């Protein structure tokens, strides 16, 4: 699609479907991430600017802070139990110059998921490791095992059981998963044809499913993007979300930019929003416009999904868009114009771009 066509489409979107979005022109270096996880942003900036670390050091240090602090209960150990009460982790790191990626999915008993993802990128020719064998790799690389459950996650799981296992992500099974716990068996073909999917009643949002996604660009324009999360509350055991899927949770390309996504990962990964955002920035579409186009495309097919997308180009100009997130959506953006070289000089209000309303509309 040509640039004029994109402009015409955006005009139509703006007139008929007003979107919650913002954009900002900045300077390099830049650190930007989903949600107002201030300490994570400051840690990444401190590593990049004050400690003169690499963009990968900065990304891992920043995201690791969120794993330690258990940001919103949705990052790191101690949150988002699955149907069996176990917490597992997803993470990824991407090199924007070489397109190397390290990722882990359904990582068990290892709390430092983002660091393990980097180890996959640094020490293997593979891209994504999952489950128990990803844990085995982490142990071989020197990471320590621990129980990822907490009193809070155990209580959350027990409460879920007392609510007849609601919310529930099973479909086309018996007993009725909207009213009963398992074990489940497949329905007959006829019964399955009579059931329709309704993702609108799961209340997916920052307290039951979230990700820290981060893009780091240094003063030379080198780019990395990555994510870490403990996934969706009460997910089916073995579920891997969009966060460790390159092009879905995050994507980076030197000379172009990077993007990260958060929200209903089972829907969002079907559209590769981060890859689409970066590829369209490569075609000259500004970040503030491409986030609108990408999210609008998802909403056309899944009008009840919740999600947000951040894109930043290689000059530090960034844009974001959120859709149907039932809370105030905030994200962190830090560059040399806002902070200088000292992360302690910036106030929360200066560091945080706030979108203080949410959308709940349907696309025809």
Among 360, 301, 290, 296, residue whose Cα is nearest residue 325? 360
Structure confidence at residue 5 as a pLDDT band (50, 70, 90): very low
The answer to whether 250 and 225 have CB atoms below 8 angstroms apart is yes
Between residues 334 and 11, the one the model is more confident about:
334
Give the C-alpha separation, 278 to 284, whole Å.
Answer: 10
278 is in an annotated binding site: no
| 82 labelled ligand-binding | no
As a whole number of angstroms, the distance between CA 68 and CA 266 comes to 25
- Judge whether 226 is annotated as a binding position: no
Question: What does the alpha-carbon distance between residue 148 and residue 110 come to, in Å, rounded to a whole number?
Answer: 7
- Given a cut of 60, is residue 21 above it in pLDDT? no
Measured CA angle at 259 (ends 79, 275), to 5 deg: 105
Choose between 110 and 306: higher pLDDT. Answer: 110
Higher pLDDT, 199 or 133: 133
- According to the annotation, is 240 in a ligand binding site? yes
What pLDDT does residue 355 have?
A: 36
Task: Over range 113-121, report the average pLDDT.
Answer: 98
Give me the pLDDT at residue 14, please: 28
Residue 121 or residue 203, greater confidence: 121
Give, in order, the Cα–Cα distances in Å from 298 to each of 90, 96, 169, 171, 304: 22, 25, 20, 21, 10
By C-alpha distance, which of 78, 57, 32, 102 is closest to 243? 102
pLDDT, position 4: 35
Of 142-146, 253-257, 319-323, minimum mean pLDDT range:
319-323
* Predicted confidence band of residue 24 (pLDDT cuts 50, 70, 90): low
- The answer, yes or no, to whether residue 212 has pLDDT greater than 80, is yes
- For residues 214 and 252, give the distance between their C-alpha atoms in angstroms, rounded to a whole number: 11
Task: Tell me the H-state helices in 26-148.
Answer: 38-45, 55-69, 113-123, 131-140
Q: Does the annotation place 70 within a ligand binding site?
A: no
Taking all residues of the chain, what is their mean pLDDT, rounded to a whole number? Answer: 84
pLDDT-based confidence at residue 2 (cuts at 50, 70, 90): very low
Residue 28 — pLDDT band, cuts 50, 70, 90?
very high
How does residue 144 score in pLDDT terms, banded at 50, 70 and 90? very high
* Average pLDDT score over residue span 124-141: 98
Q: Which residues of 124-156 are buried (b: 16+ CB within 10 A; e: fewer)?
A: eeebbbbeeebbebbeebebeeeebbbeebeeb
349 contacts: CB under 8 Å, gap ≥ 6: none
| 258 carries a ligand binding annotation | no
**What pLDDT, on the 0 to 100 scale, is given for residue 364?**
27
Tokens matching residue 226: 């990555």
SS3 205: coil
Residues with catalytic roles: 211
Q: What is the pLDDT of residue 317?
A: 93
Answer yes or no: are the C-beta atoms of 33 and 215 closer than 8 Å.
yes
Q: What percent of the chain has pLDDT over 70?
A: 77
What pLDDT shows up at residue 211?
85
- For residue 312, what pLDDT band results from cuts at 50, 70 and 90? very high
What does the pLDDT look like over 261-301, one tens digit per residue? 999 999 999 999 999 999 999 999 999 999 999 999 999 99
210 is in an annotated binding site: no
Which pTM does this prediction carry?
0.85
Mean pLDDT for the stretch of residues 330-342 = 62
């Amino acid at each position: 699609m040509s640039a004029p066509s994109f402009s015409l489409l955006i005009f139509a979107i703006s007139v008929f479907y007003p979107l919650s979005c913002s954009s900002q022109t900045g300077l390099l270096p830049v650190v930007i991430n989903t949600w107002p996880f201030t300490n994570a942003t400051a840690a990444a900036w401190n590593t990049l600017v004050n400690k003169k670390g690499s963009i990968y050091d900065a990304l891992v240090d920043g995201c690791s802070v969120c794993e330690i602090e258990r940001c919103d209960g949705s990052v790191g150990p101690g949150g988002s139990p699955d149907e069996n009460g176990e917490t597992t982790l997803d993470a990824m790191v991407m090199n924007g110059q070489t397109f190397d990626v390290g990722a882990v999915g359904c990582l068990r008993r290892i709390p430092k998921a983002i660091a393990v993802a980097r180890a996959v990128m640094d020490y293997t020719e593979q891209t994504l490791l999952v489950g128990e064998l990803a844990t085995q790799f982490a142990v071989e690389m020197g990471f320590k095992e621990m129980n990822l459950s907490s009193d809070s996650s155990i209580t959350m799981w027990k409460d879920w059981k007392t609510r007849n296992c609601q919310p529930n992500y099973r479909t086309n099974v018996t007993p009725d998963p909207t009213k009963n716990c398992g074990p489940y068996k497949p329905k007959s073909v006829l019964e399955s044809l009579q059931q329709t999917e309704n993702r609108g009643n799961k209340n997916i949002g920052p307290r039951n499913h979230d990700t820290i996604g981060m893009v780091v660009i240094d003063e030379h324009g080198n780019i990395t993007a990555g994510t870490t999360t403990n996934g969706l509350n009460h997910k089916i055991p073995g579920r891997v979300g969009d966060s460790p899927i390159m092009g879905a949770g995050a994507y980076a390309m030197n000379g172009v930019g990077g993007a990260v996504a958060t929200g209903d990962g089972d829907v969002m990964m079907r559209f590769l929003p981060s890859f689409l955002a970066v590829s369209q920035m490569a075609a000259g579409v500004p970040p503030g416009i491409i986030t609108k186009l990408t999210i609008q495309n998802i909403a056309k097919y899944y009008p009840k999904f919740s999600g947000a997308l951040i894109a930043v180009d290689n000059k530090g100009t960034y844009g974001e868009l959120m859709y149907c997130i039932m809370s105030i959506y905030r994200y962190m953006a830090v560059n040399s114009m806002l902070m200088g070289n000292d992360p302690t000089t910036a106030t929360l209000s200066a560091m945080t771009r706030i979108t203080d309303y949410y959308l709940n509309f349907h696309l025809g």
